[in-house]
């Protein structure tokens, strides 16, 4: 239900809260001010300490740089007016006072000569001849191409063990160094080069260099830094003997006087006056690290104009660090040094402030306690009004927050007055004007049917059982829209009595649609996943079946190859013997029997394969005719008596009295079933007996079920292989194929034929005991029919033929066959049967021979037409003859024995159909049948 509230006039507010809040604000303000003041004082103390430490660092750094500057000037003084300084003297000079010199960050001192490019060869010969150095002049590997004017080549660079690789280096090949060299030559002042990779360590850290020019003596006066700064050797801390390898102080002083004579020269200075430079490469990182050694957890930034020597270029005060900036004079300029505290000592600044904060908080609490005690009685008196005000504030808070969350409103039902209060959002959800408040009955009218019943039940439980609720119900708004809502509510009890029911109300139509869509998507995904899983399982099963079938067929093909090659070997062998001649009459007869026996075996194998193919495609035709089941079984058993006797196996037949004398069934297929079962039993039985039993029962009126049971005492079949013996290309065990032979098709064909005859073949077996196969077929009992033997009949006399001793006597046959061997064989069979035979090698000759005979008035009675011949095949030749109106009987000869091949031949105009290899009896029967039709 959606029910909320209406504002009432508010009573005057209690002043205790204001006074308490004012006191709290005053106390907090005083405490905060004191805490902030103490914190600022702590920061000032920390800044003062940092400034003192920075001044110490600046003093140390100033000493280091002053020493560096003094070293440059003393080096120039040492050179004086002489150009004959050798490597040993330069090495000795550099190592004098080397301890302080190294602490300045310098890695050595270089003597640099200005060498015009035209004098490079002379310069190399002079100094190479003097002491073996340098061997060549070279540029920096990072130098830019192009003519750079005069070369500035390092003659000596000591200490030699650290800087030997720099001797012969053209310093002017580095743009930064060349700029500094030119600046120092023009100003007679120390010039600092921007950082660049040192030639001694190209892959190492960048370093800077400072240069001081050496002028030719007597060619002009030079003022020292415009006279603004004293010479670095003028202070009390300077001792000349510390910087010269001379043995006495007087000798060192003479060098200083030579320097002063240069400084007193008033002539203008320029690049052409420069003889060379003294240069010192400097690692400022090492210099600053040495200077900051006394201040832990600090970093420094050294700036020379716009060049940052070390550290971050800009100090960010928002990062919470503190900084002190000092000025360090060097070579007449002022370097800016910024010393920073990496981690400000927060404890030192916050502890005093926290102490003040705690004291102020305790004082504030004490004051508040006094105020609370003073107003406690007033508070008790106004408790009811405070509660009402709190409820109204709670209502406004609920309404504001719920509306902000999105389509959420608040409602209230006053039980005592029956008043319903709705927030603005609840009105909008019901499509009512904001501010319109319905009665309880009007509010319930928005719920229809089951929704109203459920909401009324929630209200009842809330009032009687104090049970809150959360339900999702549809409402019908004032504009007729159906909106799904979520209603939450509970009862408010005072002194055990429910005074109101309140809660929230939300439009969840979009949420519900999204949820339903998500659930539908999840269901669809689940269904898709199940379907995919099912398909995957089916594919896996199909793959396994395919692999099994592939293996079985591979095994079958290997076995079939063996089964075909075995009789073919015998046929080829006996044929070879007969061709060689020399056989007596008995040997010739045995060879003929062997050829016929192995040929029949090949035909049986091919027949099995063809039968299985026809069964699998559902095109095997069943032809039911009356037959005697007992005679059929006896005939089959008679075929296997000789093999059974040779294996010393008893072959027994038991016919039931209920077996009918005649049954409508396919005699060929039933004989095939019985032959397969009896043949398997004899083949797989090594000792004991094979028993064949027949029985019958009536399954319904006019339908009889014949049962043929074949039991043996053979090797038996494993239980898990028993069902597989009825699969195509399978025997119970692969080793049985190697041991007993066979294609593995017999039982599969027998079972399928039995099903086509209305029954089935089942089996039970026990390894080492024997097997029992039961074939059941169904047919209608009928009157006995009498078979006739073609050999006992007189030859039929076709049109115009004369009777004789041979079946085909007086008949003429036109044989069209492109195979010479088949043509010779069929012609011989027909001639021995009494027929007159004319031969043709293709369809074209067959048509010509037929037309010639017809012209003579003696057309052939029958044409035996091979269907696959060159020039014109049998199909086309038959169509041509029929198109010309010829009615002669045509019998198709073909090696195609699949379903549909016969129909194709009949459609071409043939009267009947024979498959190769040709059986003599069927050949004669077919010719007689079509010739007399």
Compute the distance between CA of residue 472 and CA of residue 430 in angstroms, rounded to an integer.
15
* Residues facing 354 on adjacent strands: none
Dig out the tokens for 151 from the structure: 């070369």
Phi, then psi, of 735 in degrees rounded to 5: -70, -25
DSSP code of 11?
P
Asked which of 380-384, 437-441, 540-544 is least confident by mean pLDDT, the reply is 380-384
| Mean pLDDT value across residues 278-282 | 89
* Residue whose tokens read 């094979």: 690
Whether the model clears a pTM of 0.95, i.e. scores above it, the answer is no
Would you state the pLDDT for residue 597? 74
DSSP code of 271?
G
3-state secondary structure of 253: helix
Q: How far apart are the first and last CA of the chain?
A: 98
434 pLDDT band, cuts 50/70/90, is confident
336 pLDDT band, cuts 50/70/90, is confident
Q: Which residues of 400-431 are buried (b: 16+ CB within 10 A; e: fewer)?
A: eebbeeebbbbbbbbeeeebbbbbbbbbbbbe
Dig out the tokens for 64 from the structure: 């280091």
847 vs 315: which has the higher pLDDT: 847
Does this chain's domain 58-216+268-295 share its CATH topology with 621-781?
no
Would you state the pLDDT for residue 691? 94
C-alpha distances (whole Å) from 857 to each of 848, 854, 918, 927 are 14, 5, 30, 21
Q: Taking the alpha carbons of 249, 253, 256, 262 in that order, is the dihedral positive or negative?
A: negative
Dig out the tokens for 466 from the structure: 């104090």
Compute the distance between CA of residue 535 and CA of residue 537 in angstroms, rounded to an integer.
5
Concatenating the DSSP letter of every residue in 464-484 gives HH---EEEEEEEE-TTS-EEE
Contact predicate 485/472, CB 8 Å: yes
CATH 3.40.50.300, domain 392-511, yes or no: no
Q: Mean pLDDT, the chain, as a whole number?
A: 77
Half-sphere exposure at residue 174, Cβ-oriented, CA atoms within 13 angstroms:
22
Most confident of 93-107, 287-301, 614-628, 663-677: 663-677
DSSP code of 528?
H
Would you state the pLDDT for residue 86? 80
What are 373-415's pLDDT values in tens digits? 666 666 665 676 667 666 676 666 655 555 555 568 888 888 8
Q: Indicate if the pLDDT at residue 611 is higher than 60.
A: yes
Compute the distance between CA of residue 556 and CA of residue 552 in angstroms, rounded to an integer.
6
pLDDT-above-90 percentage for the chain: 19
Q: Which pairs with CB-CB distance under 8 Å and at least 24 residues apart come from 653-656?
A: 653/691, 653/692, 653/693, 653/694, 654/691, 654/692, 654/693, 654/694, 655/630, 655/693, 655/694, 656/693, 656/694, 656/695, 656/696
Asked which of 184-193, 695-704, 705-714, 890-899 is least confident by mean pLDDT, the reply is 890-899
Asked which of 441-450, 543-552, 598-607 is least confident by mean pLDDT, the reply is 598-607
862 vs 676: which has the higher pLDDT: 862
Compute the distance between CA of residue 865 and CA of residue 894 in angstroms, rounded to an integer.
9
Q: Indicate if the pLDDT at residue 177 is higher than 90.
A: no
What are 712-759's pLDDT values in tens digits? 998 888 887 887 787 765 555 544 544 444 566 778 888 888 998 899
Q: Indicate if the pLDDT at residue 656 is higher than 70.
A: yes
165 pLDDT band, cuts 50/70/90, is confident
For 713-752, strand residue ranges (E) read none
Compute the distance between CA of residue 166 and CA of residue 140 in angstroms, rounded to an integer.
10
101 pLDDT band, cuts 50/70/90, is low
Give the start-to-end residue ranges of the domains of the chain.
58-216+268-295, 392-511, 513-587, 621-781, 812-931
Compute the distance between CA of residue 204 and CA of residue 184 in angstroms, rounded to an integer.
26
Could you tell me where the DSSP H helices lie in 275-340? 284-291
50 pLDDT band, cuts 50/70/90, is confident
Q: Which residues contact 598 (CB under 8 A, 6 or more apart)?
A: 567, 568, 570, 571
* Residue whose tokens read 């060379």: 276
Half-sphere exposure at residue 467, Cβ-oriented, CA atoms within 13 angstroms:
11
554 vs 473: which has the higher pLDDT: 473
Q: Which residues contact 666 (CB under 8 A, 6 or more apart)?
A: 622, 623, 624, 625, 757
Sheet holding 497-507, edge to edge: 420-422, 408-414, 497-507, 482-494, 469-476
Would you state the pLDDT for residue 217? 62
873 pLDDT band, cuts 50/70/90, is very high
Structural element, H or E, at residue 611: helix 585-616
* Residues facing 502 on adjacent strands: 412, 490
Q: Which residues contact 191 (CB under 8 A, 6 or more apart)?
A: 180, 181, 183, 184, 210, 211
CATH 3.30.450.350, domain 58-216+268-295, yes or no: yes
Compute the distance between CA of residue 102 and CA of residue 162 in angstroms, rounded to an integer.
13
104 vs 811: which has the higher pLDDT: 811
Asked which of 416-425, 609-618, 717-726, 872-881 is least confident by mean pLDDT, the reply is 609-618
695 pLDDT band, cuts 50/70/90, is very high
Q: Indicate if the pLDDT at residue 887 is higher than 50.
A: yes
Considering the segment(s) 812-931 as one domain, its CATH architecture is: 3-Layer(aba) Sandwich (3.40)
User: Would you call 892 exposed, middle or buried from its count of C-beta atoms within 10 A (0-12, 13-18, 19+)?
Assistant: buried
Q: Which residues contact 570 (CB under 8 A, 6 or more apart)?
A: 594, 595, 598
Q: What is the CATH number of domain 621-781?
A: 3.30.565.10
């Amino acid at each position: 239900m959606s029910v909320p509230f209406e504002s009432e006039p508010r009573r005057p507010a209690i002043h205790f809260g204001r006074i308490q809040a004012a006191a709290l604000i005053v106390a907090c303000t005083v405490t905060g001010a004191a805490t902030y003041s103490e914190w600022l004082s702590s920061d000032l103390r920390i800044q003062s300490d940092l400034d003192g430490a920075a001044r110490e660092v600046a003093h140390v750094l100033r000493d280091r740089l002053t020493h560096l500057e003094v070293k440059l000037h003393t080096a120039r003084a040492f050179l004086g007016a002489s150009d004959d300084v050798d490597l040993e003297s330069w090495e000795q000079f550099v190592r004098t006072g080397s301890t302080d010199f190294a602490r300045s960050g310098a890695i050595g001192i270089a003597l640099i000569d200005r060498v015009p490019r035209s004098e490079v060869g002379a310069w190399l010969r002079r100094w190479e001849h003097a002491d073996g150095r340098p061997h060549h002049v070279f540029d920096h590997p990072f130098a830019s191409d192009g003519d750079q004017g005069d070369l500035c080549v390092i003659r000596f660079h000591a200490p030699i063990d650290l800087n030997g690789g720099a001797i012969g280096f053209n310093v002017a090949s580095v743009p930064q160094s060349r700029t500094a060299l030119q600046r120092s030559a023009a100003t007679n002042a120390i010039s600092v080069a921007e950082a660049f990779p040192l030639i001694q360590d190209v892959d190492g850290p960048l370093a800077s260099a400072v240069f001081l020019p050496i002028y030719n003596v007597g060619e002009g006066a030079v003022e020292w830094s415009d006279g603004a700064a004293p010479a670095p050797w003028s202070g009390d801390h300077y001792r000349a003997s510390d910087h010269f390898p001379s043995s006495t102080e007087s000798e060192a002083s003479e060098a200083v006087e030579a320097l002063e004579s240069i400084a007193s020269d008033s002539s203008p200075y320029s690049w052409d006056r420069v003889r060379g430079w003294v240069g010192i490469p400097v690692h400022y990182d090492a210099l600053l690290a040495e200077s900051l050694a006394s201040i832990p957890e600090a970093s420094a930034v050294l700036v020379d104009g716009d060049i940052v020597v070390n550290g971050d270029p800009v100090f960010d005060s928002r990062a919470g660090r503190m900084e002190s900036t000092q000025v360090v004079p060097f070579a007449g300029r002022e370097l800016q040094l910024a010393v920073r505290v990496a981690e400000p000592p927060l404890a030192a600044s916050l502890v005093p402030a926290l102490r003040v904060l705690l004291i102020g908080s305790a004082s504030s609490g004490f004051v508040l306690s006094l105020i609370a005690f003073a107003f406690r009685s007033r508070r008790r008196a106004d408790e009811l009004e405070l509660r009402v005000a709190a409820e109204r504030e709670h209502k406004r808070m609920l309404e504001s927050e719920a509306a902000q969350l999105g389509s959420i409103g608040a409602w209230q039902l006053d039980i005592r007055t029956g008043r319903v209060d709705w927030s603005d959002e609840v009105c909008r959800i019901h499509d009512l004007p904001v501010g319109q408040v319905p009665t309880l009955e009007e509010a319930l009218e928005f719920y229809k049917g089951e929704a109203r019943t459920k909401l009324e039940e929630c209200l009842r439980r809330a009032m009687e059982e104090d049970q809150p609720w959360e339900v999702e119900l549809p409402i019908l708004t004032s504009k007729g829209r159906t909106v799904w809502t979520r209603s939450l509510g509970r009862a408010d009890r005072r002194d055990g009595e429910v005074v109101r029911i309140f809660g929230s109300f939300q439009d969840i139509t979009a949420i519900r649609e999204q949820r339903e869509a998500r659930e539908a998507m999840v269901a669809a995904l689940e269904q898709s996943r199940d379907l995919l899983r099912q398909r995957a399982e089916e594919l896996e099963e199909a793959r396994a079946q395919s692999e099994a079938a592939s293996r079985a067929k591979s095994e079958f093909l290997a076995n079939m190859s063996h089964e075909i090659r075995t009789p073919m070997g015998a046929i080829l062998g006996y044929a070879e013997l007969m061709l060689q001649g020399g056989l007596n009459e008995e040997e010739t007869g045995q060879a003929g029997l062997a050829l016929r026996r192995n040929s029949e075996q090949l035909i049986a194998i091919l027949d099995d394969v063809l039968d299985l193919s026809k069964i699998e495609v559902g095109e095997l035709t069943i032809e039911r005719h009356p037959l005697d089941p007992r005679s059929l079984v006896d005939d089959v058993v008679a075929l296997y008596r000789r093999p059974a006797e040779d294996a010393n196996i008893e072959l027994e037949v038991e016919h039931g009295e209920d077996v009918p004398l005649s049954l409508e069934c396919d005699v060929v297929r039933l004989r095939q079933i019985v032959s397969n079962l009896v043949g398997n039993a004899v083949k797989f039985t090594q000792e004991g007996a094979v028993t064949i039993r027949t029985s019958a029962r009536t399954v319904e009126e006019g339908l009889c079920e014949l049962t043929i049971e074949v039991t043996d005492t053979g090797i038996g079949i494993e239980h898990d292989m028993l069902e597989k013996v009825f699969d195509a290309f399978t025997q119970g065990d692969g080793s049985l194929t190697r041991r007993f032979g066979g294609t593995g098709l017999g039982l599969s064909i027998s079972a399928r034929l039995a099903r086509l005859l209305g029954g089935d073949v089942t089996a039970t077996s026990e390894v080492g005991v024997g097997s029992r196969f039961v074939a059941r077929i169904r047919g209608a009992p009928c009157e006995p029919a009498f078979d006739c033997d073609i050999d006992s009949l007189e030859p039929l006399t076709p049109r115009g033929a004369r009777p004789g001793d041979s079946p085909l006597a007086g008949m003429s046959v036109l044989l069209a066959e492109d195979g010479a061997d088949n043509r010779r064989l069929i012609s011989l069979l027909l001639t021995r049967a009494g027929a007159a035979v004319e031969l043709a090698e293709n369809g074209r000759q067959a048509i010509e021979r037929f037309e010639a005979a017809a012209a003579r008035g003696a057309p052939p009675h029958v044409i035996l037409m091979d269907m696959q011949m060159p020039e014109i095949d049998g199909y086309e030749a038959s169509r041509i003859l029929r198109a010309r109106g010829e009615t002669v009987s045509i019998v198709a000869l073909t090696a195609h024995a699949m379903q549909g091949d016969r129909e194709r031949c009949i459609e071409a105009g043939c009267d009947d159909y024979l498959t190769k290899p040709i059986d003599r009896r069927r050949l004669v029967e077919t010719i007689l049948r079509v010739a007399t039709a």
